[in-house]
Amino acid sequence: MSDTRPRRPGVVIALVLVLTALLAGCAGGASTVTSAPAAPTSTAALTREDLDAWLDGVVPAGLDRAGIAGAAVTVVRDGQVLTSRGYGLADTATGAPVDPERTLFRVGSVAKVFTATAVLQLVEQGRIDLDADVRRHLDFPLPLRFEPPVTMRHLLTHSAGFEERIRGLITLGEGTEDLRDHLATDPPAQVFAPGTTPAYSNYGYGLAGYVVERVSGMPFADYVQRFVLDPAGMSSSTFAQPLPAPLRARLSGAFPTVDAPAAPFETVRPSPAGSLTASAADMARFMIAELGPPTLLAPATRDLMRSPALGADTLGALAEGPRTGLGLFDESRNGRRILGHGGDTQFFHSHLQLHPAERTGIFVTMNGAGRGATDSLELRETVLHGFADRYFPGAPAVGGVPGSAERAAQAQGTYESARAPFTTFLSAMNLGGQVTVTPRPDGTLLFAPGPLSAHPAVYREVRPWVWQEAGGQRIVAMRLEQGRVAALGVEGAFTLLPAPPERRAAIVLPVLAGAVTVLLGALVAWPVGAWLRRRYGRRVAVPRGERLALLATWLGAVAAVVAIGGWVGAVLAISGLVDVPTPVLAGLVGLQVLGSWRCCRPRWRWSSACAAGSAPSAWPGGCWSSWRSWRSRASR
């Protein structure tokens, strides 16, 4: 039966947009070292005595404030270890301290530097072509939507165009990995043309590692051990999961906070993207190999690794900002060149930085996240930026460009991360990570929050369409398309894109709240109405068939509310790297379909409101993204 009464299409369309954005939009985020105030101009002598005194004054206090159990810092210069310091506890239960030589840490995405090194060794040998179609080395289909083909250069610069894939990235407990199976099963959709929109991609680095495996004829972990870790003298390091028996007892505990018990071992997939386990002392040996006489790569190849790997031919004006090399990010500060890479698991947080001109490197690692959401990042910033400002200061660029006010007005809008799942229900995560850009009367821009930051930041134009944080050093470059700002480039592999109206949190979240309110109102309308009729003796004769249909519609509203709540819970769980069982997702799809079918067949006065509240779940984009996500999970 159909309801012939007039409808309000504007309301229904708005509600459709709600769940479209919730279940089929764009999401993402990234973590890196945040900006710090401008550097001083005085220089402290980089001696072991001064460095140890400075670190001893900074790190223990930072650990105490954040509630992080332990950390290690190592610094090298001119081919020698300048200092290697351990702080806090590696095991809070036994009181075992962090030993920078023996204690092992999971260094997360710092592993990508090693994966890129392995790839470039094979490039040196002529066995991998940086600019050839990467599919020539694969033994499974890689569905691609855009031209040109994806190359190794794209994989190593996070510009292959893949959307984010989060599920299965980290699981708690020791496990093994079939790298091919992980990569071949439901590869993420390609949502950008290769080389045009850098978007950090663990999947892309997994592919790069698998190419190493295919070309070398050796398992990836074995190749890296034999040709990267061992030549660098890293005898306590491995990509293997679970850890080899001799190393297992040396792994630091992983602590949510200093007061919490140790968490289980974290298995990272795909392993080339982040499964490296190493000591701080071993990381010092790697930095010496990277900064000293070439041992892992020939001089020309090492220079290639450090140089910007994409140009204006594909990036456009984004090439005016910091660009990534082949495995290393441009993290320059104080007008000095710094190359680095950070790494985060759920519990371990690390960062490596190389100062090539100064022949200096620093590595910091922690075994906990801290009590606050950004505690580990802030401590990392304190160490890395404080080190650069103390020992290698300089004068960053300052603003003041004619026409800034006009260009600032063109940048106004709401932006979302390009590192996002665009085709699954996890796209809802981006509703919480958007950046609003507002021009100010003085020609500056207010970013709320600042790019890759938890706090608002003001940016001043230093060159046309290139903006620098006021009082800081982070750079944002803007690319225009058809006279409008189409992308903001932040630190090489992180891009912000204009969010369309149907994916803007300021629009979506209030409408979603309204839709849920309508559904909840529909749920209580029938039982409350029935109670009132009984209470005041106003009985209405309803044919039995209509009573059953009314009950079915009410149950459909229940299903719709439970489905919405379930999808929100699933998004929150998976964004926290907690896996959601396949049967749960299948059940949510079923509830969503049931709610859409029953609630969108209104017959009674209240059931049209139910239809309005549940209509978004019937939208094809939302249903398809939910089904695709569940089917993908079930096929693993």
* pLDDT over 60 at 26, yes or no: no
* pLDDT over 50 at 367, yes or no: yes
In terms of Cα–Cα distance, which of 207, 31, 596 is closest to 215? 207
pLDDT tens, 467-503?
999 988 999 999 999 889 999 999 888 999 999 988 8
Q: What's the mean pLDDT in 361-380?
A: 94
Of 275-284, 524-533, 617-626, minimum mean pLDDT range: 617-626
Q: What is the pLDDT of residue 605?
A: 41
Q: How confident is the model at residue 348 (pLDDT cuts 50, 70, 90)?
A: very high
Q: How confident is the model at residue 20 (pLDDT cuts 50, 70, 90)?
A: very low
In terms of Cα–Cα distance, which of 285, 204, 201, 270 is closest to 239? 270
**Rounded Cα–Cα distance for residues 484 and 367 (Å):** 44
Give the rounded distance of the alpha carbon of 435 from its chain centre: 15
Q: How confident is the model at residue 547 (pLDDT cuts 50, 70, 90)?
A: low
Helix (H) / strand (E) element for 521: namely helix 505-536
pLDDT tens, 438-447?
999 999 999 9
Q: What is the pLDDT of residue 23?
A: 30
Of 71-80, 284-293, 500-509, minimum mean pLDDT range: 500-509
Top mean pLDDT of 42-56, 353-367, 525-539 is at 353-367
Q: What is the pLDDT of residue 167?
A: 77
Q: What is the pLDDT of residue 238?
A: 98
Q: What's the mean pLDDT in 231-236?
A: 97
Of 54-63, 312-321, 523-532, 593-602, minimum mean pLDDT range: 593-602
Q: What is the pLDDT of residue 399?
A: 64
* pLDDT over 70 at 505, yes or no: yes
* pLDDT over 70 at 433, yes or no: yes
**Rounded Cα–Cα distance for residues 228 and 235 (Å):** 11
* pLDDT over 50 at 90, yes or no: yes
Q: What is the pLDDT of residue 1?
A: 42
pLDDT tens, 124-156?
999 999 999 999 999 999 999 998 999 999 999
Q: What's the mean pLDDT in 216-243?
A: 97
pLDDT tens, 405-416?
999 999 999 999
Distances (CA, A) of 582 to 86, 539, 587, 631: 42, 46, 9, 9
Q: What's the mean pLDDT in 149-169?
A: 94
Of 171-180, 336-345, 434-443, 579-588, minimum mean pLDDT range: 579-588
Q: What is the pLDDT of residue 526?
A: 64
**Rounded Cα–Cα distance for residues 379 and 260 (Å):** 19
Of 1-15, 156-170, 236-250, 434-448, minimum mean pLDDT range: 1-15
Between strands 96-97 and 339-344, the pairing is unpaired
Give 39 or 154, the one with higher predicted confidence: 154
**Rounded Cα–Cα distance for residues 467 and 471 (Å):** 12
**Rounded Cα–Cα distance for residues 37 and 28 (Å):** 27
Give all strands of the β-sheet with 349-355 in edge-to-edge order: 96-97, 80-91, 70-77, 360-366, 349-355, 339-344, 329-330
Of 72-86, 271-285, 541-555, 557-571, minimum mean pLDDT range: 541-555
Alpha helices (runs of H) in 47-198, residue ranges in sequence order = 48-66, 111-124, 152-156, 179-184
Q: What's the mean pLDDT in 389-395?
A: 91
Give 404 or 571, the one with higher predicted confidence: 404
Two structure tokens written together for 323 = 């660009």
Q: How confident is the model at residue 540 (pLDDT cuts 50, 70, 90)?
A: low
Tell the CATH topology of 48-391. Beta-lactamase (3.40.710)
**Rounded Cα–Cα distance for residues 473 and 455 (Å):** 15
Q: What is the pLDDT of residue 541?
A: 62
Q: What is the pLDDT of residue 386?
A: 96
Q: How confident is the model at residue 69 (pLDDT cuts 50, 70, 90)?
A: very high
Q: What's the mean pLDDT in 585-614?
A: 56
Percent of the chain with pLDDT over 70: 80
Q: What is the pLDDT of residue 120?
A: 98
Q: How confident is the model at residue 247 (pLDDT cuts 50, 70, 90)?
A: very high
Q: How confident is the model at residue 549 (pLDDT cuts 50, 70, 90)?
A: low
Q: What's the mean pLDDT in 232-237?
A: 97
Q: How confident is the model at residue 328 (pLDDT cuts 50, 70, 90)?
A: very high
* pLDDT over 60 at 437, yes or no: yes
